[in-house]
Structure 1
Amino acid sequence: MEGGFSVKTLIKNASVYHNHRFETLDILLEDGRIARMGGCGGESCDKVIDAGGSRVVPGFLDIHTHGAVGVDVNGADAEGFEKICRFFASQGTTSWLCSVLTDTKEQTMQAIDMYKEWKKTEHHGANLMGIHLEGPFLCPDYKGAMPEHLLKKPDMELLKAYQEEAEGEVRYITVSPEVEGIVDFIPYIKSLGIQVAIGHSGADYDTARKAIQNGALGATHTGNAMKLLHQHFPAIWGAVLEDDDVYCEMICDGRHLHPGTVRFIIKIKGLDRVVAITDSIMAAGLPDGNYKLGVNDVVVVDGDAKLATDGTRAGSTLTTGKALKNLLEFTGRSLTDIIPMLTENPARLIGVYDRVGSIEPGKDADLVFLDEGCNVVRTFVKGKECY
């Protein structure tokens, strides 16, 4: 509602991604939601957009990202979060989770508080839907870019305090199954409203399977910072690939996973259990140089982000728009096959598919227009054009 009046926008002559295929449909947007689809030509509207046959797909969800355009999630203020939101909208991202890298209790609380401050402001970009905690209950041997001295054994009072401070909007957490006691805590973590992913881990197969049986539903940046598959010891990677329910995150920048590995994971998991993420850091959208990732110093050369101390890869400079194009190139699959990895699958994983992830009446009017080259040319977030 604007000024007490209902605002209606009609998008006509669009090739709309609906029911896993493209259909020629009109879309009526009203007060931030999709009001109706089909033939809507008789409606009296405030604005009419002729899509001219352009492909319109659901807005992309990025559930694992540490920042962009010079802003690091761990140190962001409300203005910084909004800066990320506006950049993300230009890349086709309409919803995202801010991934807080393992940090001190004080800095993690600060990041949560700044997220809450952002929620109070006026928004003109992607919708920040909540928080992903990447740690601190992680295995030191597979820490990746995690600061080892800040990793902890399971502390449910601490996690509960984070969730209370976030007013229930910590939606996702990464844990390592082999950390003593964490597997038994997974049902409790989920009772707090937090979806659980496993990663940063050298867990053996049986331990990883127990974590999955106890409710872990995601695998964090599959194939990275985890023990790999061996014919005698399938380990955590074998467990997450085998299980039909687990969603596997993938960083499709061509560096974290070889294109053949991308195809391999999709072939095993199926199109409905792969989630494309960026794992981007503050360098996304900016030139090579020196940056931060939480407490870490990071150097970016040729777009490749690595820790300044030892050269460990530290996130990426990927965007969702580029991930889409990479997936199309790496797999040779159709756009209809790839779209759910950026939309429906992450929405289902974190439990927000009732609001976003597909183009349906009643859902948020989060839409992305693609040109013939699958470049993002227009983005709508809750019915408002942001790019």
Structure 2
Amino acid sequence: MSRQLFYNGRVYRDHRFETLCVLSENGVITEIGEWIYAPEAERIDLKGRRLVPGFLDIHTHGAAGVDVNSADPDGYEKISRFMASQGTTGWLGSVLTDTKEQTLACIEAYKQWKGMEHKGAAMMGIHLEGPFLSPEYKGAMPEHLLQSKNIPLIEEYQKAAQGEIRYITVSPEVDGMVEDIPKLKALGIQVAIGHSGADYDTARAAVANGAMASTHTGNAMKLLHQHFPAIWGAVLEDDRVYCEVICDGRHLHPGTVRLILKTKGLERVVAVTDSIMAAGLPDGEYRLGVNEVVVIDGDAKLKENGTRAGSTLTSGKALKNLIAFTGRPAEELIPLLTENPAKLLGMDGQRGFIRQGLFADFVVLDENDGVEETYVQGRRVF
């Protein structure tokens, strides 16, 4: 039996830090207390540092030179190891709208990755960004690959993925999409709305039918107008909806981040990276699905027309940015990277908290809120 005892640290629990010990056995938290007797366990001295739940990135297209859309199993492992170095312990592979053949290839590579030995973050499943999206707000989506609703196609993808497509982004104004949201949810897929010019009433209808999130809120969507609140107004207003935010200072002004937090509350905002293969690498030319991308000063844009195309953000940097943008302490903002994405995906019985019975996925933060160590199911991976 593999056992680890984390001691002499401040543990994040119930949105505050407490001086506690945490015991894990075979990758699962078994005990939390002020003092734990476990003489046979591996002892991990936190040296007074803070132990927080591992970060969860539910929207990323790649990192470390690997694009999700073209990755093989070794490529997914390379992303996973980079993610671990940034404090991320779980991530969804976001598949940009692509051909049916290439999407199925991404799913197959993920299944092969699951059969490998891993030394990084856990890939928790797949996020489909499209293909049922608005051409007008396509962003980096290849327009010729967008299509109208096609539930049999998603059923085929989900069968190939053995039920591990967790999340999908759709535009509610696509004909018949609002009515088909319950069908997607019945497949075990959480639905986000985005890349959309939907009007207010259509967006509200999508939420009423079960859409639970908005994809990179404020980006690639029709903006709020005092007479026409549109999709952005609908998702800001509704307490049921989680709002993804990309906190790189480019996709959203810091004041906009503060406004979203004030409107939604800390419990309904999910910090994502929307990173591409350039994350962790210098400026240069890269790819995002079928697109050529140029990164200048860390800002990724399509070579073709200058449209912003994902980011080079990491979860660790997102936490630091959130602290800088809002002036709030880390303990108030950590849920945006941990428990909120876990709740959105229905995975809060496995991840997102330091709680008995959950995976022993941890990040050790230094005094400046930087990532010093990362543990996945009790194993140090960074």
TM-score where L is the length of structure 2: 0.99
Q: Is the Cα–Cα contact under 8 Å of residues 19 and 34 in structure 2 kept in the other structure?
A: no
- Post-superposition offset of 1:242: 0.1
Q: Is the Cα–Cα contact under 8 Å of residues 28 and 40 in structure 1 kept in the other structure?
A: no
**Cross-structure match for 1:3:** none
CA distance in 1, matches of 2:347, 2:300: 31
**Cross-structure match for 1:73:** 68
Structure 1, unaligned runs of 5 or more: 1-5
- Post-superposition offset of 1:39: 3.3
**Cross-structure match for 1:319:** 314
- Post-superposition offset of 1:119: 0.2
- 1:165-184 matches, within 5 Å, as 165-184=160-179
Q: Is the Cα–Cα contact under 8 Å of residues 57 and 368 in structure 1 kept in the other structure?
A: yes
Matched, 1:262 2:257: yes
- Post-superposition offset of 1:16: 0.6
Q: Is the Cα–Cα contact under 8 Å of residues 2 and 41 in structure 2 kept in the other structure?
A: yes
- Post-superposition offset of 1:8: 1.0
Q: Is the Cα–Cα contact under 8 Å of residues 266 and 274 in structure 1 kept in the other structure?
A: yes
**Cross-structure match for 2:110:** 115
- 1:127-138 matches, within 5 Å, as 127-138=122-133
Q: 1:109-148 deviations in whole A, cap 9, x for unaligned? A: 0000000000000000000000000000000000000000
Pick one of 283, 294, 306 that aligns with 1:299.
294
**Cross-structure match for 1:185:** 180
**Cross-structure match for 1:51:** 46
CA distance in 1, matches of 2:375, 2:66: 23
Matched residue of 1:103: which SS? Answer: coil
- Post-superposition offset of 1:40: 3.9
Pick one of 302, 325, 332 that aligns with 1:330.
325
CA distance in 2, matches of 1:282, 1:89: 15
CA distance in 2, matches of 1:207, 1:146: 22
TM-score where L is the length of structure 1: 0.98
CA distance in 2, matches of 1:210, 1:154: 16
Matched, 1:284 2:279: yes
- 1:127-166 matches, within 5 Å, as 127-166=122-161
- Post-superposition offset of 1:29: 1.1
Pick one of 340, 363, 368 that aligns with 2:358.
363
Counterpart residue identity of residue 35, structure 1? T
CA distance in 2, matches of 1:28, 1:40: 10
Matched, 1:198 2:197: no
- Post-superposition offset of 1:158: 0.4
- Post-superposition offset of 1:201: 0.3
CA distance in 2, matches of 1:288, 1:235: 36
Structure 1 segments (4+ residues) deviating >3 Å = none
Q: Is the Cα–Cα contact under 8 Å of residues 140 and 291 in structure 2 kept in the other structure?
A: yes
Matched, 1:373 2:363: no
- Post-superposition offset of 1:41: 3.5
- Post-superposition offset of 1:45: 2.7
Task: Report the count of equivalent residues.
Answer: 382
CA distance in 2, matches of 1:301, 1:7: 46
Matched residue of 1:87: which SS? Answer: helix
Identical aligned residues as a percent: 66
Matched residue of 1:313: which SS? Answer: coil
